[in-house]
A and B are shown apart, each in its own frame.
Chain A
Amino acid sequence: MISVTSLTKFHGTHRILNAVSLTVNKGEVTALVGPSGGGKSTLLRCINGLETFQSGEVDVVGQKLAGGKPFDPKSLQKLRQKVGMVFQQFHLFPHMTALENVMSGPRYALGKSRAEAEPLARKLLERVGLKEKADSKPANLSGGQQQRVAIARTLAVQPVAILFDEPTSALDPAMATEVLAVMRDLAAEGQTMIVVTHDMDFAERATVVHRMKAGEIVKSGPPNEVLKDHS
């Protein structure tokens, strides 16, 4: 479903990703672990075109990004509608209510009307446990609530896969738990996702774990194999 083929990225002369290849199958949960600065965030950002890269290819259900040239805006937009992203800092739109945030993708990316977008948006808010907060502005939500709204917002575009970049590391443990619970539910329902995480509990339940270090995938496999020598 997602395949990354020998992706290499430089920042100036500094090589951040070195011929990274990786495949993700439908319904799988892929965990990316590894030391800080290993290139995990950069890899995610390349997969949905937030960063350009020098060589290699990204393919998300047939939507391709090729390295070495600027992306075509139209195909980039199509790719992003297929692969959503949840950020460490949530990045909710502060001028919109929770509901409006969730509707923003369908309305402003897919061109649906408010009436068309609202039922799904409400359903998604309910699914992340925030039905009552539909009319609250982000400033009035806790960090955990904000991240759950951000997840609902990503789901609203109905992407085939979701990229999570350390979704809980800006949260205190209690709030992290509620976000992780939502993510587990999603995984259980067969949502394809790639998750950068330092949370070993979550990583242990992933389908596949890749360890990244200095811009390379140094080890891949089932959780018990990849995670056992580090804890």
Chain B
Amino acid sequence: MKKLAIAFLLLLCTSLPAQDKKPFRWGTDPTGGAPFVYQDDDGKYIGFEVELAAYLAKKLDREPKMVAGDWSNLPQQLNKSPDVEGGIDVVLNGYELQEDLAGKYLPTRPYYVFRVVLMTRKDNPAIRGWSDLYQRGGERKTVGVLGGTVAQEYLEKTFQKQIELLSNPDVANVIKLVRDKRLDATVQDSPAATYFLKEYPELAAVGEPVRPGFYVIYCRQDDKELVAKLDAAIADGIKDGTLQKIYEKYGLWTDDQERLLYWQSQPWPPPFHPEAEGKGEEKKDAPSPLPRLSRELAEAAWVTIKLSFLSFPIAMAIGLAVGVGRVYGPRWVRVPFTLYVEVIRGTPLLLQLFIIYYLIPDLLARSGIGFLGDLGRALTPMVAGVLGLAINYSAYEAENYRAGLLAIPKGQMEAAQALGMSRFAAIWHVIVPQAIRIVIPPVTNDFIALFKDTSACSIILVVELTRKYNELFNFNRNLIVELAFLTAGLYLLMSYPLSIVARRLEHRLASLKGGAA
């Protein structure tokens, strides 16, 4: 039986269409951007990692094939077979040599030494170095980072609550916010910093780049052969100057890179806890990070609660006004309100948040009217998030209310008007209170849905629960399961009471109708 299976497998392999070369599938997140992997004006992928991958593939006598994925989930792709759709052989995308990752996947030797760089506007006198980030009485400085990166971890450890740390999955967005004076500073890996300092002359690197780290390629645990080949290729590339040529092309060759050669011949990976090593004992059990992680998640859950409870009442108010306008308003009200509902419902929340937080302030700044520009700059992620959710949900609430209003029998309006009430008074005192009761169940359901939709606000730098989970997950890949359960638990803890309230309300409503009130 077993033999048969093996024979079958062999047959399968040999019967595959003969390819000239085996592919070298390298996983990357092209949205992570320049100068790692990005598109040139013709839409072709370029970047120092694209060229590095091409070089490595050539040394391996394989065909380079870029496979795009979400950055923080790239290592997970290695858990799957390389031959499935979207499967990869290696992760090659500015991933640092980290203990938790090195425990699960095999790291190659380093191909680049990076540091983190503090960037701010040239004309910002308040930040001239790292120490200026400390609070010192005044307002906390706002610092944007790429979520889940070394920069974020470094800032959290070093400055803790002294700065307001905002994270976002898109480097270019963060950099633009600093240029537009909406963030005080940003901290980036040196390659990104180098690239964007060229792109945005308004910005400058201040203070010394700090915390050197290694970029490595991660492979499957059992892919020792591939790692050995890649290590050899990297070492050759360093010795014969190929890597230097690639890096220089992108302006990325620094003194730090001189150390690359040294590390090619050292024990690898180097010890992660050199201080503990000296004591010659078994590695001491570090205190479990779970209490700290739980606390951080709980704080993020509080942000989720704030977003929901601030935005939903606004959504209900706008929704009611729009719903009433659509049912009872004159034509010149009905038409724009209908348009409003259709446009808002027909476009994704993410896009709306993007427009509110990035586009509108940008337009206001360009309007040249001073106070409008200031208004745009003062727009915080939280306010934009609340506004975005409120507007998005107002369209759905408007539809709920419209349905509720239309369900009220015509006789109610006639009876109210026959008493001499104005149309407005009749709507407000007679129709709306009844409609509101009817729509309580769908509206509470929407509130629960909104709770979960708050996660969209992470694209505008709000760190709510889902975002926090994603970030913590990047630094604690050995606690993935615990983190997932904690996060799901927190969501449940928040939405379950709501469900109960919703059910109670529905029950009361039913009994009202049934006449037992």
Contacts and interface: CB of A to CB of B under 8 A. Distances in A.
A137 B517 contact: yes
A10 B415 CA distance: 23
Contact of A109 (B420, B433, B513, B514): B420
A153 B419 contact: yes
Nearest to A156: B419
Contacts of B426: 108
A91 B422 contact: no
A12 interface: no
Interface string A147-159: 0001001100100
A203 B44 CA distance: 92
Contacts, number: 78
B91 to A, nearest CB: 61
Nearest to B426: A108
Interface string B478-517: 0000000000000000000000000000000000111101
Given A95-B437, A108-B429, A139 B513 contact: yes
A105 B420 contact: yes
B338 interface: no
Interface stretch (A18-26, A80-88, A123-131, A208-216): A80-88
B123 to A, nearest CB: 60
Nearest to B434: A95
Interface in A43-101: 48, 50, 73, 77-78, 80-81, 84-85, 87, 89, 91-95
Contacts of B512: 137, 139
A104 B430 contact: yes
B411 interface: yes
B414 to A, nearest CB: 6
A104 B513 contact: no
Nearest to A163: B418
B301 to A, nearest CB: 37
A140 B515 contact: yes
A77 B414 contact: no
A88 to B, nearest CB: 9
Contact of A104 (B411, B419, B434, B515): B419
Contacts of B514: 139
A110 interface: yes
A107 B419 CA distance: 10
A80 B420 CA distance: 5
Contact of A91 (B415, B420, B423, B434): B415
Contacts of B425: 108-109
B412 A157 contact: no
B444 to A, nearest CB: 19
A110 B422 CA distance: 10
A77, A110, A157 — which one has the most chain B CB atoms within 10 A of its CB? Answer: A77
Contacts of A78: 420
B472 interface: no
B416 interface: yes
B423 A73 contact: yes
A92 B417 CA distance: 13
A149 to B, nearest CB: 12
B207 to A, nearest CB: 65
Residue picked from B409, B415, B426, most chain A C-beta under 10 Å: B415
A93 B429 CA distance: 10
Contacts of A73: 422-423
26 contacts: A50-B414, A73-B423, A77-B420, A77-B422, A80-B417, A80-B418, A80-B420, A81-B419, A81-B420, A84-B418, A87-B415, A87-B418, A91-B409, A92-B415, A93-B415, A94-B434, A104-B429, A107-B429, A108-B426, A108-B429, A108-B430, A109-B421, A137-B515, A139-B512, A140-B515, A150-B415
Given A87-B414, A104-B416, A150-B415, 9 more contacts: A91-B414, A93-B415, A93-B416, A104-B430, A105-B419, A107-B429, A108-B430, A109-B421, A109-B425
Interface of B: 409, 411-412, 414-423, 425-426, 429-430, 433-434, 437, 512-515, 517
Interface of A: 48, 50, 73, 77-78, 80-81, 84-85, 87, 89, 91-95, 104-105, 107-110, 137, 139-140, 150, 153-154, 157
Ranked 10 nearest A-B pairs via Cβ: A81-B420, A91-B415, A109-B420, A105-B419, A91-B411, A139-B515, A85-B418, A80-B420, A109-B421, A108-B425
